[in-house]
Structures are given as structure tokens and as C-alpha cells.
Amino acid sequence: MEQYKKDFIEFMIDCQVLKFGDFVTKSGRKTPFFVNTGFYRTGAQLRRLGEYYAQAIKETFGVEFDVLFGPAYKGIPLSVTASMALSEKYGADIRYCSNRKEVKDHGDKGILLGGPVGDGDKVVIIEDVTTAGTSIGETLPILQAQGNVNILGLVVSVDRMERGQGEKSALNEISEKYGLKTCAIVTMKEVIEHLYNRPYKGKVIIDDTLMAAINAYYEQYGAK
């Protein structure tokens, strides 16, 4: 596993974005881990988050594209910080763009904020965590309405590796249904591999008991 992935896992723990325990998801599933990206709250945290995204984007898509699109609302700061990191780390001056939930009828009218999107633009979509493919189904028509755009794919921070609508993971379903390349900074498999029975700051995050709960969860909800 690349060092930046290990660093990102520990960064999520430090920010309290990644937690282990007993949680219930929106869909009612009981889960032994929870990823809440709302806990990225400071400028320093967002700067580092953008750097991790930028590295994953470069490895998967390169930097020869035009627009980094972050769907409202959580995708807005992600597109901003990652586009800044792509500029600072790799010299790639890529436009950031997001949609508005409500169309603006004055000033800079329209549904988009940030850079424009139009014919011929190569676009990468950036999101936080994808557990189901509903969001991408709402995002693609917005982009396609702007012209003949080339949507390269989707990047997320964590692939939870859970089933989507069928037996495959949500990211794999998105890839197959829409023909998009998808990637994550880390997968939960990588998170578990890095933390299992390994002390971090004097504490073992995933011990044998928690590992058993995680295995049981994936036995029931994991992607095939």
C-alpha cells in the first residue's frame, strides 16, 4: 500500500472522520464503522484532504483534464481544495465547478457556480463517500446539459465496499452502468489492512473483537 494511503487513513482517525463502534446508517444498517466527512472542519484539514484527493486523481486520471466537478453540497469544498492541490502539487490549472440546488436568476445566472463547463471539456467528478449510486445519477444530467462533455470518471475518499443495488459495490455498479472509471483514495479493505492489530498512537484501533464484527458486517452487506 502506498504511503499516502496509510497517511490518509491515520488522518481520518485524527480528524474523527473515521470511527469504529456501534452505528446505524441512514438505510438502517447496523455497522461497526462510520465515515463522517463533516468532521473535516479547518483550513489545514481541508488543505491536506485536497492533497490526498489530488494524488488519487493524478494516479487514476492524470492531470490532462479541464474541470473538477463537485456536486452540491459536500462536493463544493472538495472541488475547490482538490483543484488548488492539483495546481500546487502538479502545476495543473484545472477549473473547479459545482451545481446549485436552486437555479440563480440574477447576477451570474444559472445552475452552476465556479468555472464554466462546455463542449469538449474533460470532467472528473469528486464526491466524499459513495455507498449507493443515486448521487451520480443526478449529477450526470446536469453535466450533459452543458454540452458535449467528456466525463472521465468519479473519485471518492473512501470506498466502503458495500453492495449497491445488486451484489457488486456501488463504485463497480456506477462504472458498469455509466461507463465511468471510478477510484477511491482508500478502500475499507486497505483501512482494515493498515489498522488491524497495529498500534496507532498507543492504541490498537482494530482488535480481534472488532475484526470479528467487521467480518460479520461484510458477510451480510459486503460486495461480491
Question: Which one of 106, 201, 203, 224 is the catalytic residue?
Answer: 106
Question: Which one of 30, 104, 177, 189 is the catalytic residue?
Answer: 104
Question: HEC string of 154-208?
Answer: EEEEEECCEECCCCCEHHHHHHHHHCCEEEEEEEHHHHHHHHECCEECCEECECH
C-alpha cell at 190: 486497505
Catalytic residue at 106?
yes
Give every CB contact of residue 3 below 8 A, 6+ residues apart in sequence.
Answer: none
Using DSSP, state whether 221 is helix, strand or coil: helix
How does 175-208 read in b/e, with b if 16+ C-beta sit within 10 Å?
A: beebebebbbbbbbebbbbbbeeeeeeeeebbee
Give every CB contact of residue 144 below 8 A, 6+ residues apart in sequence.
Answer: 151
Residue 20: its H or E element? strand 18-24
Catalytic residue at 177?
no
- First-residue to last-residue Cα distance in the chain: 22
So which residues are the catalytic ones? 104, 106
